[in-house]
Amino acid sequence: MRKIVILGTLDTKRDEVGFVKALIQGRGHEATVVDVGPLGPPLDDPDVSNERIARLAGWDLRNLLRTPQRDQIMEAMGKGAGRCLLDRYQQDELGGVIGVGGNQGTAIASMAMRVLPIGFPKLIVSTVASGNIRPYIGNKDIVIIFSITDLIGGPNPVSRSILSNAVGALLGMVEYGQRISLGEGERTIAISALGNTEPAVSYAVRSFKEKGFHAISFHASGAGGSAMEELMEAGVIAGVLDLTPHELSEEVVGAGAYVPVRPGRLSVAGRLGIPQVVSLGSLEYLCFGSRESIPLGMRRRKIYMHNPYNANVALSRKEMTKVGKIMAERLSEAKGPTAVFIPVKGWSVYGAEGGPLHDPEGYRTFLRAFQNHLHSRIPIKEVDAHINDGFFVDACVEQLNTFMKETRS
């Protein structure tokens, strides 16, 4: 038997939450209902009241409801629900969590669930799951299932199916899933990746496996790099080959589909003293959706359509200078062994000579700013190769392997 928490706004979703609770208890698990709806008392008493959730966020519920900003009310309920979940998790009294909600309930439940570690079972049935859900999920492994119907008036033939499937999915994770763990002597290397650097990453993964490491690649999609850095903080990652720090460009420019979910890309490994080798993969462009999603002010730049739904847009020289400066400043703060490897013949498939985004002067602009602001103790190694060349990857892998040996001895 495991203890499952159900998050719901009981003023509007009481019957659906009750249906979910019965299904969980029918499987022999303990179900605890947490009312995260701030707008009124439910018809039945929950296991954890909305008054209690507000207090956990530092508010009296009546005073909170007098706040004119609705977003502040929702943020407080999310914060309080998160504290409720984290307390139960830390006391080993939580096996999984499921939320049922519309827009507001999804926002509150997702805020709460994001306090839980990656690998812990968490799921939301939501009316807004078919839209842009990155603001809800962030860089967490929250499963979101589209409710198909609105969640009003209690379970119906359609919502019964969706809610039952959702409970089945959650209990499958609870009963059969595995948490993230490392065996004795196991060590992991994180590698950042995009399609433009996939050959290099695949080569590096094989090389590190041959050396006895677990090599874990993270797609530099904004959420991927942020998740990678969260796992560094969780102690899961022992070394980093940041081949593709693309998200830094989008963070610095403040535009693109892959802006990191957590700010401060390229800061975490250095702050924690984790050995890192860093390259320049895909820093020379921004990613957008369809051609129509590109900001008007950027439409005269070099553009290459990766596919009909993904546009690569070149950085300006001014932006290249800024990215180089900030990258150098962040790496200069590193407390652990750090080295930077520069592939002279190209940072990505599209940025190589003859590629649609090739810009030699832009690269020189970046490198001048980077070299002028990087601390002298951090070596810069230029390799006469493309980032996807095996010779270049070998050099990066060997350097990081040397760092790993030095830190272990």
The confidence score (pLDDT) of residue 46 equals 86
Average pLDDT (226-242) is 97
Beta-carbon count within 10 A of 222 CB? 24
Q: What pLDDT score does 131 carry?
A: 80
Burial of 105 (0-12, 13-18, 19+ CB in 10 A): buried
Q: Which residues contact 46 (CB under 8 A, 6 or more apart)?
A: 10, 33, 34, 35
Residue ranges per structural domain of the chain: 3-176, 188-408
Q: What superfamily would CATH give domain 3-176? A: Uncharacterised protein family UPF0261, NN domain (3.40.50.12020)
Kindly report, residue by residue over 130-153, the tens digit of the pLDDT: 888 999 999 999 999 999 999 988
Average pLDDT over residues 17-42: 90
CA distances, 108 to each of 124, 231, 261, 394 (Å): 11, 24, 18, 46
Strand spans (E) along 62-116: 96-101
Strand partners, 343: 383
Q: Which amino acid is at 106?
A: T
Task: For residues 273 and 265, give the distance between their C-alpha atoms in angstroms, rounded to a whole number.
Answer: 15
Domain 188-408 maps to which CATH number in 3.40.50.1970, 3.40.50.1820, 3.40.50.12030, 3.40.50.460? 3.40.50.12030
Q: What is the pTM of this model?
A: 0.91
Q: What is the pLDDT of residues 350-361, one digit of tens each?
A: 999 999 999 999
Q: Do domains 3-176 and 188-408 have the same CATH topology?
A: yes
